[in-house]
Structure 1
Amino acid sequence: GGLAHTFSTGHTVKAGELAQKNFDTYKLPRIGQMSEYDAHAVPTKNDPTGIGEPVFHTMAPAITNAIFAATGKRIRSLPLNKHGMSLA
Structure 2
Amino acid sequence: MTDAVTDNPAEHRFELKAGDHLALAYYTLAPGIITFTHTEVPHELSGQGIGSRLAHGALEQVRARGLKVIPKCPFISAFIAKHAEFADLVA
Do both share a fold (TM > 0.5)?
Answer: no
Higher strand share: 2
TM-score for both structures, normalised by structure 1: 0.30
TM-score for both structures, normalised by structure 2: 0.29
Higher RCO structure (Cα 8 Å, ≥6 apart): 1
